[in-house]
Amino acid sequence: MDKAEILTNLKTLGLDAGASPDDIHSAFRRLARELHPDVTGSKSDFRFKQITSAYNQLKNLKSHYILEIILNYITKKEVT
């Protein structure tokens, strides 16, 4: 995922570039409660899918980043 995609996903959740993982989670939860089809019927179905997709992509990016840090740490530890 490139920088533009990350910024687009953050914007979808109503956030700016400096948002923390907690900010992302909170924004998703707030929007999900407002836009869930069980609450709004089918009128917000598309928007709910948008925020869910944006959140999942950002969440996966966070997991990938953490895994990359751990692997780099282990690799460096084995070399030294």
Residue at 27: amino acid letter? A
3-state secondary structure of 20: coil
Which structure tokens are listed for 36?
A: 């869930």
Superfamily designation of domain 3-79:
DnaJ domain (1.10.287.110)
Q: What is the pLDDT of residue 46?
A: 94
Alpha helices in the chain (DSSP H): 3-12, 21-35, 37-40, 45-79
**Each residue of 9-48: pLDDT tens digit?**
999 999 998 888 889 999 999 999 999 999 998 889 999 9
Instruction: Give residue limits of the domains in the chain.
Output: 3-79
Are residues 13 and 27 in contact, defined by beta-carbon separation less than 8 angstroms? yes
The more confident residue out of 6 and 47 is 47
Q: What is the pTM of this model?
A: 0.77
